[in-house]
Amino acid sequence: MKNSSDMTTSRPRLTVIGTGYLGATHAAAMAELGFEVMGVDVDPDKIDRLSQGILPFHEPELPELLTKHLSTGRLRFTTSIEEAGAFGDIHFIAVGTPQKDGEGAADLSYVDAAVEAIANAATHNCVIVGKSTVPVGTARRLQALVEKVKKTNVEISFAWNPEFLREGFAVQDTLAPDRLVVGTNSDLAITALRFVYQDALSRGTPFIATDFETSELVKVAANAFLATKISFINAFSEVTEKVGGDIRTLADAIGHDARIGRRFLNAGVGFGGGCLPKDIRALQARVGELGLDHTMAFLHEVDSINLRRRERVIDVAHSLLNGVNEKKIAILGTTFKPNSDDVRDSPALDIAARLYGQGADVRVFDPKGMENSAKRFPRLTYSRSLVDAVEGADLVLLLTEWEEFRKMDPNHIGGLVGSKVIVDGRNVLDVVEWESADWQYHALGRKSIHANPSILAT
């Protein structure tokens, strides 16, 4: 029977339930820290691939870690929750909490099922630690569920430890987080998690122990703040566009103020992915249930500003091409951000699909997102390369800022397209360089040299 001193004298064995972007990374990173880890998923194909060292998604540095720890024997995968219950001393819950169909609220059925299953399967005293992003109130409700379904001779401590990793930097963010937040009413859970994260703690990483509710709210507050910052600059880009100002200069200038900071002030087609959009909607839904709709009403506007950016790109395409029907449009990027293959709620893929729906001859290319994009929208034309996508294009839309697109040579690309017209949906290209190569350059919220030659002086 484990107690708090057992947790630190013998190494606890870990399980990670749910092996998607969060869970597979967490499992491999914990193995890297020296723990024996078992990854568990209900998707047999995913478990099969992970067991063979094949990562089912793109994440830099993770394939190497996966292969390494399948070899060291510290990492293994299973679909059997019973095996996990017999194996683990600390069980991390990393299953999805997607938006419910047709509603803003989070679908908690996966998290409920995973917690219930592992609590029921646990054969010895253990700690269950939620990492998924959940609406406030979930952890306390699940702790009561655990008490109801666990075996009578087993004691289970419960904690919520939200995850802040960024796709594209997930391994580094897991091994070296900028803070650790744990919501719990159990000293044993705190001791166990301090032990698991001792490597980061020894380097001075802040460890914030709090109640369940605060820990749940920290995660959604962080995402709401980031989403608001992006929509803030995008709202200003609507104004700079109207009056002929330059949003990048504005962002640089306000970003010099240390209270504001420059990060997350990049105007463009807005945010997407499996977290920010659904998390701000779930937060609004949850505060609505609490009778506090007005407190988060501004998030509705944050969401609307974000979605308007997609409309804006489509409007610009229509006006540049005098209607998009049968026009060849090269779409560069389908993932919601570079260095990921994640196309969940991706602005780029949404714009591509809508232009296709409006009759455009859309040619799509993304360095890593083609397979996921084709699963979602099989009817788009997927090009083999950047060169293939832009060949003969009437318009080029840069919608995800992959390094390959940022580094494009305007002279080389200019020799391939039908018309040298580009919309820089991420504000990452050098306007002077592109216009000097005779491109008609457009960016959201940013003037071109032709519109105002004074930009050359800056």
Question: What residues act catalytically?
Answer: 275
In the bound state with ligand NAD, the residue whose beta carbon lies nearer, of 97 and 266, is 97
Residue 286 makes contact with ligand NAD by CB under 6 A: no
Encoded amino acid at 22, one letter: L
In the bound state with ligand NAD, the residue whose beta carbon lies nearer, of 155 and 167, is 167
Nearest to 62 by CA among 189, 185, 170, 215: 170
- The residue whose two tokens read 């995913």 is 46
37-40 and 126-130 beta bridge pairing? unpaired
User: Is the Cβ–Cβ distance between 366 and 435 less than 8 Å?
Assistant: no
Which distant-in-sequence residues (6+ apart) come within 8 Å of 450 by Cβ? 435
* Whole-angstrom distance, CA of residue 448 vs CA of residue 386: 24
Nearest to 115 by CA among 85, 135, 93, 90: 93
Of 2, 14, 16, 18, which lies in the binding site for ligand NAD, with binding defined by CB under 6 A?
18
Question: In this structure, what DSSP letter does residue 98 have?
Answer: P
Count the site residues for ligand NAD by CB under 6 A: 27
User: Is the Cβ–Cβ distance between 194 and 181 less than 8 Å?
Assistant: no
Residue 114 makes contact with ligand NAD by CB under 6 A: yes
Only one of the segments 90-98, 119-127, 146-154, 280-288 lies at the binding site for ligand NAD (rule: CB under 6 A); that segment is 90-98
Only one of the segments 108-116, 232-240, 390-398, 429-437 lies at the binding site for ligand NAD (rule: CB under 6 A); that segment is 108-116
Question: In 375-407, which positions are buried (b, 16+ CB within 10 angstroms) versus exposed (e)?
Answer: eebeebebbeebeebbeebbbbbbbbbbeebee
Only one of the segments 16-24, 301-309, 391-399, 401-409 lies at the binding site for ligand NAD (rule: CB under 6 A); that segment is 16-24
Query: Which two tokens mark 246?
Result: 């330059």
Residue 316 makes contact with ligand NAD by CB under 6 A: no
In the bound state with ligand NAD, the residue whose beta carbon lies nearer, of 220 and 431, is 220
* Whole-angstrom distance, CA of residue 334 vs CA of residue 352: 8
SS3 content of the chain, % helix, strand, coil (to 5): 45, 15, 40
Residue 135 makes contact with ligand NAD by CB under 6 A: no
User: Is the Cβ–Cβ distance between 160 and 134 less than 8 Å?
Assistant: yes
Q: What are the beta bridge partners of residue 421? A: 440
Of 14, 94, 220, 230, which lies in the binding site for ligand NAD, with binding defined by CB under 6 A?
94
Residue 20 makes contact with ligand NAD by CB under 6 A: yes
Residue 269 makes contact with ligand NAD by CB under 6 A: no
Of 32, 89, 155, 167, which lies in the binding site for ligand NAD, with binding defined by CB under 6 A?
167
* Whole-angstrom distance, CA of residue 234 vs CA of residue 182: 33
In the bound state with ligand NAD, the residue whose beta carbon lies nearer, of 27 and 421, is 27
Residues 36-55, mask of contacts with ligand NAD (x by CB under 6 A): ----xxxx--x---------
Question: In this structure, what DSSP letter does residue 180 have?
Answer: E
User: Is the Cβ–Cβ distance between 201 and 228 less than 8 Å?
Assistant: no
In the bound state with ligand NAD, the residue whose beta carbon lies nearer, of 219 and 327, is 219
Only one of the segments 19-27, 147-155, 197-205, 356-364 lies at the binding site for ligand NAD (rule: CB under 6 A); that segment is 19-27
Q: DSSP for 27-53?
A: HHHHHHTT--EEEE-S-HHHHHHHHTT
Nearest distance, CB of residue 11 and ligand NAD, angstroms: 24
Residue 21 makes contact with ligand NAD by CB under 6 A: yes
Residue 22 makes contact with ligand NAD by CB under 6 A: yes
180-184 and 207-210 beta bridge pairing? parallel
Nearest distance, CB of residue 207 and ligand NAD, angstroms: 18
Nearest distance, CB of residue 445 and ligand NAD, angstroms: 27
Residue 77 makes contact with ligand NAD by CB under 6 A: no
Residues 145-164, mask of contacts with ligand NAD (x by CB under 6 A): ------------------x-
In the bound state with ligand NAD, the residue whose beta carbon lies nearer, of 101 and 257, is 101
Whole-number Cα distances in Å, 292 to 78, 100, 378, 432, 451:
42, 20, 41, 49, 46
Nearest distance, CB of residue 114 and ligand NAD, angstroms: 4
Residue 175 makes contact with ligand NAD by CB under 6 A: no
Query: Which two tokens mark 166?
Result: 């960024």
Nearest distance, CB of residue 377 and ligand NAD, angstroms: 19
Residues that bind ligand NAD (CB under 6 A): 17-23, 40-43, 46, 94-97, 110, 113-114, 117, 132-133, 163, 165, 167, 274-275
